Amino acid sequence: MATRLALVDDDQNILTSVALALEAEGYEVDTYFDGEQALAGLMRRPAALAILDIKMPRMDGTELLGKIRQKSAMPVIFLTSKDDELDEALGLSLGADDYITKPFSQRLLLARIRAVLRRAGGQAPLSESNDTIAQGDLLLDPDRHLCSWKGDEVKLTVTEFLLLQALALRPGHVKSRDQLMDAAYGDDIFLEDRTIDSHIKRIRRKFRAHDNLFDRIETLYGIGYKYKPDA
């Protein structure tokens, strides 16, 4: 069930350390240290995504990408050195799905991998979906920034919308305050936990203004919040 990634780089350090990191994230990783080896390996063990260093001896990344593209539409992410931007242009025009300049953080790499895999369509885009959410009486349309409860429009601010969206995306699933913070602001912002409570309070208040029995946002003491699905 684990997604298999192919990692190609001639620098042994990068190869092993990045592989370790990815495996820690639950991916299976096949490592190759040059293009020819990678090409051969990919025939036998196809991967969901390939991560290629551009500069490699014997067969460089762009050439490898070309060969891969002859046989498969497998998503590809390029690794490039920071200073040679030419490579980026080259790689992308050749059909890479994304690129990352060294140095890169593990966080960035993971984000790109997830994004590319998501775009590639295999996985359910649960986290970032822009789709309308219709959970019983609740309707959330991100594109129109529209929220309604039992037909009545409920005016939410951006933050409130994002939080409710995160909750309603997986009805019944518990979200910690940290997770909600991620959903509304992203990784790099730290706020008081209790700020989430404040927003939840405001969301509840707005919904109760339309339906004073509204109780779909449940508090789980010591854990977080969840959106209760229809019974």
Partner DNA sequence: AATCTCTGCCTCAATCCTGCCGCGATCCTG
Partner DNA sequence: CAGGATCGCGGCAGGATTGAGGCAGAGATT
Binding site residues, DNA, CB under 7 A: 155, 157-160, 185, 191-195, 197-202, 204-205, 219-224
Count of beta carbons in the 10 Å neighbourhood of residue 207 = 24
Within residues 91-120, the interface with a second copy by CB under 8 A covers 91-99, 102-108, 110-112, 114-115, 118-120
Q: Which two tokens stand for residue 58?
A: 């014997």
Q: Which residue has the tokens 């349309």?
A: 141
Minimum CB separation from DNA for residue 175, in Å? 11
Q: What one-character DSSP code corresponds to residue 34? A: S
Binding test (CB under 8 A) with a second copy, winner from 2, 123, 201, 209? 123
CB nearer DNA, residue 61 or residue 224: 224
> Which of DNA, a second copy, none sits in contact with 195, Cβ below 5 to 8 A by type?
DNA
Q: Which stretch binds a second copy (CB under 8 A): 44-52, 131-139, 144-152, 196-204?
A: 144-152
Contact between 189 and a second copy per CB under 8 A:
yes
Q: Can you name the residues that pair with 147 across neighbouring β-strands?
A: 140
Q: Which residue has the tokens 């080896």?
A: 37
Count of beta carbons in the 10 Å neighbourhood of residue 71 = 11
Q: Which residue has the tokens 């069930």?
A: 1
Within residues 12-31, the interface with a second copy by CB under 8 A covers 13-14, 17-18, 20-21, 24-26
Q: Can you name the residues that pair with 53 across neighbouring β-strands?
A: 79
User: What is the 3-state secondary structure of 89-127?
Assistant: HHHHHCCCCEEEEECCCHHHHHHHHHHHHHHHCCCCCCC
Q: Interface residues with a second copy (CB under 8 A)?
A: 11, 13-14, 17-18, 20-21, 24-26, 69, 73, 82, 85, 88-99, 102-108, 110-112, 114-115, 118-120, 123-124, 143-146, 157-158, 172-174, 178-179, 182, 187-190, 220-223, 226
